[in-house]
Amino acid sequence: MKETNSWNPNEYSKHTAFVSQLAMPVVDLLDPKKGEKVLDLGCGDGTLALEIQSKGADVIGVDLSKEMVEVAKSKGIKAFVASVTNLPFESEFDAIFSNAVLHWVKDANLAVQNIAKSLKGGGRFVAEFGGKGNMQSVVEAMEEVFKMHPEFGEFNNPWYFPSVNEYKKLLEEFGFKVEYIELIDRPTPMSILAKWLDIFANGICQNLTNKQFEVFKQEVEEIAKSKIYSNRGWILDYVRLRVRATKL
Ligand SMILES: C[S@@+](CC[C@H](N)C(=O)[O-])C[C@H]1O[C@@H](n2cnc3c(N)ncnc32)[C@H](O)[C@@H]1O
């Protein structure tokens, strides 16, 4: 499936800085060492690549978004445009790191195949992304709104949110030993749900007119409200799959 979401680095860093801020435990799990060659898969604006580089590792970032790659480069990261499903590397990296990316890649087999191919033998893969049940309230609300509006077309869910067993099996099929894998509930405050939809659902709504997109956002908010809105504001039902595995 073609990757359709589009990424605006300014909007992304203004409204969803929590994505990289909450990922520090994943950088700790990677435990980058001085001189190691590390690939940041889906590096986005380079915030985490910079953190890994500050530990002395030699970091390369790749991302599907040209705009994100430009921002990462401006921060001093060696970065270029490439997809997780088509990486030009062969046994090159001591470690591959990825945060908040792999749920955007529906062809998980191809992603893991490319990750395995790019790592040196004994190299490690450390990642976090959406796991089973992630944002379920919002995904269900989006589906419902599409059903209520046949003129919006078909709802194409762009996400892959695997369970622990499913992802462990997949990694093992491609020659990994899984040392740690866990689903983590991470309720995440968000000031305005519509902003989240602007950033993360623009691909889903790419065929909608501006007016339809406004209706979509308003109705998704109305439906999701009973589940994830309270006097504390919006608390999004994020569930992350965190993993560390070694290529045998
Ligand atoms: C939520 S952002 C996360 C960025 C960064 N890793 C962070 O934690 O801040 C998701 C990123 O995944 C990238 N992405 C989505 N699909 C991709 C693919 N198939 N290959 C490479 N990057 C992809 C997007 O362009 C975007 O920059």
Residue 24 maps to a domain: yes
From the CA of 40, give the closest atom in ligand 1. Answer: 6
For the chain, report the end-to-end CA distance as a whole number of angstroms: 30
From the CA of 83, give the closest atom in ligand 1. Answer: 20
Q: Which residues line ligand 1 (CB under 6 A)?
A: 3, 7, 19-20, 23, 42-44, 47-48, 63-65, 68, 83-85, 99-101, 104-105
**Residue 117, SS3?**
helix
Q: What is the mean pLDDT of the chain?
A: 96
The count of other CB atoms within 10 Å of the CB of residue 177 is 11
Number of structural domains found in the chain: 1
Domain encompassing residue 114: 9-134+158-187+239-247
Residue 174 maps to a domain: yes
Whole-number Å distance, alpha carbon 44 to ligand 1 midpoint, is: 5
From the CA of 111, give the closest atom in ligand 1. Answer: 19
Q: Are the C-beta atoms of 149 and 211 separated by less than 8 Å?
A: no
What pTM was estimated for this model as a whole? 0.95
Tens-digit pLDDT string for the chain (248 aa) = 456 688 888 887 777 788 888 999 999 999 999 999 999 999 999 999 999 999 999 999 999 999 999 999 999 999 999 999 999 999 999 999 999 999 999 999 999 999 999 999 999 999 999 999 999 999 999 999 999 999 999 999 999 999 999 999 999 999 999 999 999 999 999 999 999 999 999 999 999 999 999 999 999 999 999 999 999 999 999 999 999 999 99
Residue 27 maps to a domain: yes
Residue 144 maps to a domain: no
What sign results for the dihedral spanned by CA atoms 219, 16, 41, 130?
A: negative
CA distance 47 to 189: 21
The residue whose C-alpha atom lies closest to atom 17 belonging to ligand 1 is: 64
> CA of 179: how far to CAs of 102, 117, 182, in Å?
19, 19, 10
**pLDDT of 2:** 54
Residue 198 maps to a domain: no
Among 38, 40, 104, residue to substitute to test ligand 1 (most atoms within 8 Å of Cβ): 104
pLDDT tens, 36-79? Answer: 999 999 999 999 999 999 999 999 999 999 999 999 999 999 99
Residue 204 maps to a domain: no
| 183: CATH | 3.40.50.150
- The residue behind tokens 């796991």 is 131
Residue 63 maps to a domain: yes
Residue 162 maps to a domain: yes
